[in-house]
């Protein structure tokens, strides 16, 4: 099945709220556990989260590694508002900061110690821009963890995945999930993107029936 691109920024109020209210606790906690395993000795430092959405992952990460700092770059103003509320409610405003900007336009004040990103790549029209941003925002040798959806072979398979994992979610969330699956990349496409940017220390793996994970260092 060919990729069908979905809109880049999730800037609808209803759309952002539906995403923030959906239950991604398993996926997000698993993402954090992968990061902790990748960086066993990293207790301090500054992590960049590209497309941080409602900031659930930065909050989970800081709860496990309280001396890290996270900067989240997120282009959707309603999503940034929801993220800010969640960070304040968690009492972590001193640890997590937000930049409301497209990552393509973001210039880091200094290179980051680690880069993370979950579920952003499928939104990006040109994914090489994403991997280029990873390269230019990271310190040499910095750990990188990126996760996203695998594009299924057919629309029928995409519908089946939505039914399997989002049966109890809102109509908006189910529609967005379906569109995201159609807009996602295959692991082979991701491997080709990494090779094109010479990111030879980043490896792609398929970790379940709907996610690929890229892990390693720049």
Query: Is-contact 17 78, C-beta < 8 A?
Result: yes
Q: Which residues bind ligand SAM (CB under 6 A)?
A: 8-10, 24, 51-53, 56-57, 73-76, 79, 102-104, 118-120, 123
Place of tokens 């082979």: 188
Query: Is-contact 215 38, C-beta < 8 A?
Result: yes
Instruction: State in angstroms the smallest separation of the CB of 87 from ligand SAM.
Output: 13
Place of tokens 């496409």: 189
Instruction: State in angstroms the smallest separation of the CB of 26 from ligand SAM.
Output: 12
Nearer Cβ to ligand SAM (141/189): 189
CA 161 – CA 38 distance, rounded (Å): 28
Nearer Cβ to ligand SAM (11/189): 11
Instruction: State in angstroms the smallest separation of the CB of 9 from ligand SAM.
Output: 4
CA 182 – CA 4 distance, rounded (Å): 5
CA 143 to chain centre: 15
Maximal C-alpha separation, the chain? 45
Instruction: State in angstroms the smallest separation of the CB of 214 from ligand SAM.
Output: 14
Comparing every residue's Cβ against ligand SAM, the nearest one is 53
Nearer Cβ to ligand SAM (126/200): 126
Token reading at 179: 């569109």
Token reading at 137: 């925002």
Nearer Cβ to ligand SAM (9/141): 9
Query: Is-contact 11 192, C-beta < 8 A?
Result: no
Nearer Cβ to ligand SAM (80/218): 80
């Amino acid at each position: 099945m060919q990729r069908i691109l979905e809109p880049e920024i999730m800037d609808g109020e209803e759309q952002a709220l539906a995403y923030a209210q959906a239950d991604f606790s398993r996926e997000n906690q698993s993402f954090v556990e992968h990061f902790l395993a990748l960086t066993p000795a990293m207790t301090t430092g500054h992590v960049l989260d590209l497309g941080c959405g409602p900031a659930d992952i930065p909050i989970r990460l800081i709860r496990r590694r309280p001396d890290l700092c996270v900067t989240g770059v997120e282009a959707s103003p309603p999503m940034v508002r929801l993220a800010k509320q969640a960070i304040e409610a968690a009492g972590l405003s001193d640890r997590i900061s937000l930049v409301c900007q497209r990552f393509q336009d973001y210039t880091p004040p200094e290179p980051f110690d680690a880069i993370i990103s979950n579920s952003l790549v499928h939104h990006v029209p040109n994914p090489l821009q994403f991997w280029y941003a990873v390269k230019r925002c990271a310190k040499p040798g910095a750990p990188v963890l990126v996760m996203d959806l695998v594009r299924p072979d057919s629309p029928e398979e995409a519908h089946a995945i939505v039914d399997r994992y989002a049966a109890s979610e809102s109509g908006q969330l189910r529609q967005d999930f379906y569109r995201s699956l159609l807009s996602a990349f295959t692991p082979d496409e991701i491997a080709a993107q990494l090779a094109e940017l010479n990111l030879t220390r980043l490896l792609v793996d398929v970790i379940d029936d709907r996610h690929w994970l890229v892990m390693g260092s720049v």
